[in-house]
Structure 1
């Protein structure tokens, strides 16, 4: 049973957020699957775009193996913005409106300035993380491995570099948690409402803080399905990314009061 909560105080009012049960992510995925089945051509077209983006990530990182994890995590950071069209499809689906590929582009146009500002912030975070990873390994790991497999076994799994790898992993994890917390429902909210990106970020953070167990489970599912997409030679991304995009819309609808 949901439990709406609003911030105290007067003046500027943020949208109310709900407490939801730990079972809700399953329902989000189920509803996302329904939206994808109802709009297979449009949804899978976006999935194909995600697959192409994933291929670009792998091509870029294969020649720079020390950036592989940074590149993949950067892909996950930017993915909520790229899924704007999928959120629009789900929004139209709920209202009984057509959702062709052309019409789904309205998702980015409806609140374009705030979307652009939030996208710029995500891109900046991804760039900082990529540069940080490059500097750490360039300075501290001599004789960089020539390819991805060598890097995994010679650096990441090498006890000699365990301290560096652990510190790098912890920094990346903290950054990922922060970005997830402020972006979990931000983009769907920007598409659905005429709000600025700061309001959307604060609302997303409050929804995450109010539902730490639910959002932790949701983050694990997002990362797992995304990595599964990469592990299947990117073919899985064509299916998993539209599913997650639609499901994220339903997560927003569940977590944020109208």
Structure 2
């Protein structure tokens, strides 16, 4: 009887117990790797123009809608528009999926990318909440900075842009962009590879965010260049009254997928 018990499979552990994907291993990449990611992102845009531009038009439409809705209260428009940098990784999921499908030799079809979040809805939802909280705190901090420097009357859109061009309020600009940089850094560090990991491997949200922080710590020079490229392409979109986002956001979204592929080692096949 004792021998039979020893040879019997562990009855306390379910046969289909799956520990989940292993913790992702981060690789070092060359300092110029982000330029290669942008090039590959542009290649994906050319290969999948219609679905990619669909997401680009969505970004542009959202930006224009915010500008029109809050045209008389630019302090809100500034906070919400700059939130693109915080919420962008979540909003670009469809672009990641397009790059993934092209990589696998599948068709560049828009419909499957619209509901790609269902593949790992729970963890993507947790990550969305994290980014949402960061965004809401940033929006509040942005309003506080405006209130501190404009105690009598908030500037209009034209007034604010004019002040930026003439640099008449360097103290305000320094504080505003300094505070924004803190929130942008937190969002960027948490999202370098997070959503691609969750879509590709069904990774949990915590491990995905830790891997993103690891990618940043292990590759400071490439990540700095990558952040500069993201901000630059986003600013091009903003300075063209959001029209440029039609092209720049798909390029950044596709490039993010290739960043994930370079930064995270492929998962070994299980025996």
TM-score, normalized by length of structure 2? Answer: 0.84
Compare CA radii of gyration and give the structure with the larger one: 2
Match of 2:255 among 227, 247, 251: 247
**Greater mean deviation of Cα atoms: 25-34 or 140-149:** 140-149
The runs of at least 4 aligned residues of structure 1 exceeding 3 Å deviation read 152-159, 161-165
1:169-212 Cα deviation digits (max 9, x unpaired): 21211121121011111111111111111111110010011111
What 5-or-longer segments of structure 1 have no aligned partner? 1-11
Cα pair 2:146 2:154 within 8 Å, conserved: no
Cα pair 2:59 2:249 within 8 Å, conserved: yes
- The answer on 1:182 being equivalent to 2:190 is yes
Cα displacement (A) at 1:152: 4.1
Cα pair 2:72 2:156 within 8 Å, conserved: yes
Cα pair 1:84 1:108 within 8 Å, conserved: yes
1:33-74 Cα deviation digits (max 9, x unpaired): 111111111111111111111112322442222234322221
Cα displacement (A) at 1:103: 1.4
Cα distance 1:151–1:229, how it changes in 2: closer, same or farther (>3 A)? closer
Cα pair 1:50 1:237 within 8 Å, conserved: yes
- The answer on 1:39 being equivalent to 2:35 is no
Q: Which residue does the alignment assign to 2:23?
A: 14
Q: Which residue does the alignment assign to 1:3?
A: none
Q: For 2:32 and 2:193, locate their aligned partners in 1 and report how far apart those are by CA, in whole Å.
A: 18
Cα pair 1:80 1:187 within 8 Å, conserved: yes
- The answer on 1:208 being equivalent to 2:188 is no
Cα displacement (A) at 1:164: 4.5
